[in-house]
Structure 1
Amino acid sequence: MEKLDTEACHVVSGKLGGAPVISSGDYDMYQLVSILRSCRMMVSSRYHGIVTCMPSLVASAGVTMDERIRNLMHERGHSDLLLTVDDPDLEEKLVIILGKLNTESERIREGIGQTVARNLKVMARMGVFFEEHLQKCYPDFPIRKGLQGWEDYLPPLSPNLKKLLENYSRD
């Protein structure tokens, strides 16, 4: 996916009989996002690859070398979908996880949807905190008056994200 991974991807592709390699060297970020969000499932060692496909509820697992993917999988309730790069049984565990992504995709999508909905609200809260901080530091700076909904602290949401919030928000 990332240009620096292209050579390794071609090696793996050759072992898989010529599976396509999709690289940032060949596609721009908008095309890559579109491709990722069209997947049915994915396994990645790239944090942003996993996060990018979450709004489309792509069943995903992570191979981690640091805390970002580990924390994300724990937050989603998917510790069982976490592998470490230095695991001596990586291959066997990966096969098991691929099976889970296939057979437990609804459970996985539920956790992903809840996590995306929850994090949209967390981002909105950051907007509230920023506005309060701005008001304290610059009392003359004009800000909106009256009660604001949490949604007012986010940019306009796509129809997909609005539907995701309807289906997965837990107030």
Structure 2
Amino acid sequence: MKPKVMLIGDSIRLYCQAEITRQLENDFTVWGPEENCRFAKYTAKQLPVWFGVVGTPDVIHWNNGLWDTTHLYAEDGPFTPLEEYLRYLAIVLRELRKRCPKVIFATTTPVVEPHATQKNSVISAYNQAATEFMQAQGVPVNDLYAFVYPQRTTWLCEDGCHPAEAGKAAIGAEVARVIRSCAAS
């Protein structure tokens, strides 16, 4: 029986899931929700539903942050305040670890600026705080921000946020590489 990989995350995960699955399908069973996992609080709410479908995974690759760092209204700042974001990351991590010892957290990918609802400075600040938290918890971090940033103008589509075909291929391959490495450890 193949080891089971669970993918949890926002639209970046959704855009890349087919490529991740293609890269891993010979050695792993890959599952991710059909829906966008949105922001960290929503992910915390939906975990029981998703675990009811997937069962017990062997490796989980997870990201939250794109929705959390969104500026819906300029005068309000990020959709999820940083302290709340970290609180819900902690809740999600606790629940993931109850079911799976191998959890990988992925940082939020950059955008092409100027962007209507996102700022790389905010994404970077949230990524730094999340990375520090995850490292303190012994969770490996897949730094997709650093991976995508140098190629963001060619890997992201016209909306400046979501992966274009080249981005899907590159991000999917990188996520698959990190999952393989974690599964082997």
Same fold by TM (over 0.5)?
A: no
More helix by share: 1
Is the radius of gyration larger for structure 1 or structure 2? 1
TM-score where L is the length of structure 2: 0.27
TM-score where L is the length of structure 1: 0.29
